[in-house]
Amino acid sequence: MKLFLALLSSILLCSCADMYVTKTEVAGGSTRTTTTSDAKDSKGVYMTTNCGVGAYAPKAIYIRPFCIDTAVFTGDQTNSDGEMPIRKALTPVEFAGVLKEQLEKMAPARILKDNETPRTGWLVEGEFTLVDGGSIIGRSIFFGHFGVGQSHLALHVRVTDVDRGIVVYEFDMAGGSNLQGRGGTLRASGLGYARSFDLVNAAERIYLVLTPNAFRYGTRTDIALH
Model pLDDT, residue 126: 98
DSSP conformation letters of the chain: -HHHHHHHHHHHHT---EEEEEEEEEE-SS-EEEEES-TTT-------SGGGPPP---S-EEEPPPB-TTSEEESS-SSSGGGHHHHHHHHHHHHHHHHHHHHTTTS-EEEPPTT----SSEEEEEEEEEEE---HHHHHSGGGGGTTT--EEEEEEEEEETTTTEEEEEEEEEEE-TT--SS-BTTB-TTS-SHHHHHHHHHHHHHHHHSTTTT-TT--SS----
| Confidence class for position 50, pLDDT limits 50, 70, 90 | low
**Model pLDDT for residues 200-209, shown as the tens digit of each residue:** 999 999 999 9
**Model pLDDT for residues 156-198, shown as the tens digit of each residue:** 999 999 999 999 999 999 998 865 644 445 444 444 678 888 9
Model pLDDT, residue 75: 87
Residues 12-36 have a mean pLDDT of 67
| pTM given for the model | 0.78
Domain range summary for the chain, segments of one domain joined by +: 2-41+53-210
Model pLDDT, residue 179: 55
**Model pLDDT for residues 71-115, shown as the tens digit of each residue:** 999 988 888 889 999 999 999 999 999 999 999 999 999 999 999
The CATH architecture that domain 2-41+53-210 belongs to is 3-Layer(aba) Sandwich (3.40)
Which of 44-53, 60-69, 190-199 tops mean pLDDT?
60-69
In this predicted structure, the answer to whether residue 13 has a pLDDT above a threshold of 60 is no
User: Hey, CA dihedral for 205, 182, 92, 111, is it positive or negative?
Assistant: negative
Model pLDDT, residue 166: 95
| Confidence class for position 30, pLDDT limits 50, 70, 90 | very low
Model pLDDT, residue 223: 66
